[in-house]
């Protein structure tokens, strides 16, 4: 009789664990999707920043790329947690200022990109 009671109790615990796993699965998938989106966004930010640094001309394409960078940085700030959003916004502002200089400091730009990556 005691064995039957333990068996039922173990079955109930196993069912509860399975149910909790099934309920949390969509949440886990959403977290993974957000993490992947943030990673792709930061890669695009880095790629676009390097493109802007390689083309110091201030022509129409450079300006369009610069505006795209601004937009990507805004998107990245919204993808981060609320406690990191202020840091991302400030780092983004500094990065834009550096890239917009006539002769940008590559070391300073790399530092700002590294700071953004750490916010990931």
Average pLDDT of span 67-92: 88
What is the pTM assigned to this prediction?
Answer: 0.75
HEC string of the chain? Answer: CHHHHHHHHHHHHHHHHHHHHHHHHHHHHHHHHHHHHHHHHHHHHHHHHHHHHHCCCCCHHHHHHHHHHHHHHHHHHHHCCHHHHHHHHHHHHHHHHHHHCCCCCHHHHHHHHHHHHHCC
Q: pLDDT band for 120, please (50, 70, 90 cuts).
A: low
Task: Report pLDDT for 4.
Answer: 67
Task: Report pLDDT for 55.
Answer: 83
- Classify residue 88 by burial, with Cβ atoms within 10 Å: 0-12, 13-18, 19+: buried
Angle subtended by helix axes 2-54 and 106-118, to nearest 10: 160
Residues 23-68 have pLDDT tens digits of 778 888 888 998 899 899 999 999 999 999 988 777 888 999 999 9
CA distance 56 to 51: 9
The residue written with tokens 């700002």 in the block is 112
The residue written with tokens 């550096």 in the block is 98
Residues 86-112 have pLDDT tens digits of 888 899 999 999 999 888 888 999 999
Task: Report pLDDT for 117.
Answer: 87
């Amino acid at each position: 009789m005691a064995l039957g009671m333990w068996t039922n109790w173990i079955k109930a615990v196993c069912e509860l664990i399975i149910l909790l796993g099934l309920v949390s699965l969509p949440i886990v998938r959403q977290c993974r999707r957000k993490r992947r989106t943030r990673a792709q966004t930061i890669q695009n930010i880095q790629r676009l920043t390097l493109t802007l640094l390689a083309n110091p001309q201030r022509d129409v394409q450079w300006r369009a790329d610069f505006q795209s960078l601004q937009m990507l940085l805004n998107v990245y700030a919204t993808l981060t947690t609320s406690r990191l959003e202020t840091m991302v916004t400030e780092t983004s502002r500094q990065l834009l200022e550096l890239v917009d200089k006539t002769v940008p400091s590559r070391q300073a730009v790399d530092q700002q990109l590294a700071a953004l990556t750490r916010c990931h």
